[in-house]
Amino acid sequence: MSKIVELEALSTFVAPGETVGLGGAWMSNHPMAAVRQLIRDGIGDLHVVGSLSSIDVDLLIAAGLVRELTFSMVSLEAYGLAPHFRAAVQDGSLKINEVSGVAINVGYSAGARNLPFLPMRDLGGSQLPEMAPDFYANVTCPFSGDEFLAIRAFNPDVAILHVARADAAGNCQVDGPKSIDDEIARAARRVIVTAEEIVDTDVIVANASSTHIPGFLVDAVIEAPYGAHPTSLVPVYGFDAWTVMDYADVCAAGEAPAYLEQLRGESEAEYRARVLDDDRRTVLAHVAQDVQVLEAS
């Protein structure tokens, strides 16, 4: 049975008030087309769980759609602080749960294995366990008597991920960095995937080792070219620093409301036409190729 739906059907799978686990990490593989659609649909009151988050989470906060955020980092990296995240934390308008990146990985691993928690070694004097008692607890090993930190399982209502390709049954492949998206998929109650392209199952089978998320985990597949933009999806395209710098400048100038209104008023195809001319696509393709060369060396 085909699981292919249009991007505009995203609201069928994500309800206001739910916990949403976003895939991607640093400046790669974030499900940005889906984030933009959440903003168009105004699906809010969300508890967002992100690990190494970036412009994806900052945009959702700017749009007023995030009630609670569980995170290890939200940053524009070399291009500055995430402005709306920072402001919301400073003025107390956003409930936050700061959890270490390793602990988020462990929590998703627990959720993926249908366990209530998994243990990890202590954080070396960090105050994070005291600041987020709903996610950390002390536990004693029944075999050795050693003390560990127990990390509560993450089981989001819905995971939203972006991949290189998928077939109609939801089998998903990534050729470059994939973060912990496969664990998020296994931990979530529903899984929505946007893909650069939807291909025949024969294509998936021919390169089976790249299939990190099997179709039986996936509820819906959406074809979304440049669906991670402005973050990267190596080896297809690199990180678009120019677009992120434009976003930072717009926010610094107090023009974020107009920026969001433009996103709300255009389709995803219109977004691509506006920000990705042929020259920009060529440059981003070369950036991705350079990344591959560096990784190979």
pLDDT tens figures, 32-70: 999 999 999 999 999 999 989 999 999 999 999 999 999
Q: Is residue 51 part of a domain?
A: yes
Q: In this structure, what token pair is assigned to residue 62?
A: 């700017």
The residue to which tokens 């607890």 are assigned: 137
**18 φ, ψ to 5°?**
-85, 165
Q: Is residue 92 part of a domain?
A: yes
- Partners of 160 in the β-ladder: 22, 192
CA-to-CA dists, residue 99 to 43, 74, 197, angstroms: 25, 12, 34
Residue 296: per-residue pLDDT? 54
Q: Is residue 37 part of a domain?
A: yes
Domain CATH code at residue 279: 3.40.1080.10
Helix (H) or strand (E) holding 13: none
- Would you say 196 and 229 are in contact if contact means Cβ atoms under 8 Å apart? no
First-to-last CA distance in the chain? 42
- Cβ neighbors of 122 (< 8 A, separation 6 or more) are 147, 148, 149
Taking residue 3's Cβ as centre, other Cβ atoms within 10 Å add up to 20
Domain span at 13 = 7-99+155-287
Q: Where are the alpha helices (DSSP H) in the chain?
A: 32-41, 55-62, 83-91, 101-112, 128-131, 181-187, 201-206, 241-252, 256-264, 268-275, 278-296
pTM for this prediction: 0.93
Low-confidence ranges of the chain (pLDDT < 70): 290-297
Angle at 241 between CA 236 and CA 242, to 5 degrees: 110
Among residues 84, 21, 62, 15, the alpha carbon closest in space to that of 43 is found at 15
Going 36 to 44 to 97 to 22, the CA torsion angle's sign is negative
Among residues 88, 93, 91, the alpha carbon closest in space to that of 251 is found at 88
Taking residue 293's Cβ as centre, other Cβ atoms within 10 Å add up to 8
Residue 130: per-residue pLDDT? 85
Q: Is residue 253 part of a domain?
A: yes
Q: Is residue 109 part of a domain?
A: no
Between CA 2 and CA 42 the distance in angstroms is 27
Q: Is residue 66 part of a domain?
A: yes
Give the pLDDT confidence of 141-188 residue by residue, as tens digits.
Answer: 999 999 999 999 999 999 999 999 999 999 999 988 778 999 999 999
- Cβ neighbors of 93 (< 8 A, separation 6 or more) are none
Q: Is residue 203 part of a domain?
A: yes
DSSP-assigned states of every residue in 218-248: -SEEEE-TTTTTTSBBTTTB---HHHHHHHH
- The number of domains in the chain is 1
Between CA 60 and CA 173 the distance in angstroms is 26
Q: Is residue 242 part of a domain?
A: yes
Residue 128: per-residue pLDDT? 85
Residue 194: per-residue pLDDT? 98
